[in-house]
């Protein structure tokens, strides 16, 4: 019995005085109350209904060089390189410099209407790198430099037929 009292005292020190006074009849009720409070707190802490800012997403379509298509949803604020990596889209050599604007392997071609929706115009550094990309067009951008906005929902990008890594000596 002494052992039981010690263990209860350890578990719920707040109610230890009840045990000391021999008032052990109230212990099961106190334990139930404590467990209920703890479970209730856990439920609220991990509840999916708790107010949480929801990320806005849009749909993006990729057309591979062989004509196959892949569509996915992506969060506004992500860039196209991140989306390709996150979705394990297999494009040989794509994103070799991991978005440091040093390779041009993330070259993508946009439809004119989608190109016009990209809010950020290419920087001089991006244009220099694009000059080294394979199959450059007037609507080409580097995927690592294109950040998605809500207006770009339904965006379709074409993956060029070849990838050139500007860092490779030729």
In the complex, which residues of this chain contact ligand FES (CB under 6 A)? 81, 95-97, 99, 101-106, 129, 142, 144
Sign of CA dihedral 123, 100, 132, 164: negative
Q: Residue 28 or 93: which CB sits closer to ligand FES?
A: 93
Least separation in angstroms between CB 144 and ligand FES: 3
Least separation in angstroms between CB 31 and ligand FES: 58
Least separation in angstroms between CB 56 and ligand FES: 24
d(CA 153, CA 82): 16
Q: Residue 18 or 105: which CB sits closer to ligand FES?
A: 105
Q: Which residue is listed with tokens 């106190």? A: 30
Q: Residue 12 or 101: which CB sits closer to ligand FES?
A: 101
Name the CA radius of gyration of the chain, rounded. Answer: 29
Do residues 160 and 98 make contact, with C-beta atoms less than 8 angstroms apart? Answer: no
Residues 6+ apart with CB under 8 A from 119: 149
3-class DSSP state of 140: strand
Q: Residue 58 or 97: which CB sits closer to ligand FES?
A: 97
Overall size of the chain counted in residues: 170
Least separation in angstroms between CB 50 and ligand FES: 37
Taking the C-alpha atoms of 158, 163, 166 and 170 in order, what is their torsion angle to the nearest 10 degrees? -150
Q: Residue 16 or 102: which CB sits closer to ligand FES?
A: 102
Least separation in angstroms between CB 112 and ligand FES: 22
Q: Which residue is listed with tokens 């690592």? A: 144
């Amino acid at each position: 019995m002494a052992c039981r009292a010690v263990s209860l005292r350890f578990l719920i020190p707040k109610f230890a005085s009840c045990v000391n006074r021999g008032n052990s009849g109230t212990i099961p009720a106190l334990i139930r109350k404590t467990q209920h409070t703890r479970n209730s707190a856990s439920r609220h802490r991990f509840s999916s209904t708790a107010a949480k800012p929801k990320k806005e997403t849009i749909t993006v379509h990729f057309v591979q060089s062989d004509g196959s298509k892949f569509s996915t949803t992506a969060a506004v604020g992500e860039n196209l390189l991140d989306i390709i990596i996150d979705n394990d889209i297999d494009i040989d050599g794509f994103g070799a410099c991991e978005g440091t604007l040093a390779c041009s392997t993330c070259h993508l071609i946009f439809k004119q209407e989608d190109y016009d929706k990209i809010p950020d115009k290419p920087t001089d550094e991006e244009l220099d790198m694009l000059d080294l990309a394979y199959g450059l067009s007037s609507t080409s951008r580097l995927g690592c430099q294109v950040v998605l906005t809500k207006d770009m929902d339904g965006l379709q990008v074409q993956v060029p037929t070849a990838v050139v890594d500007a860092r490779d000596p030729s």
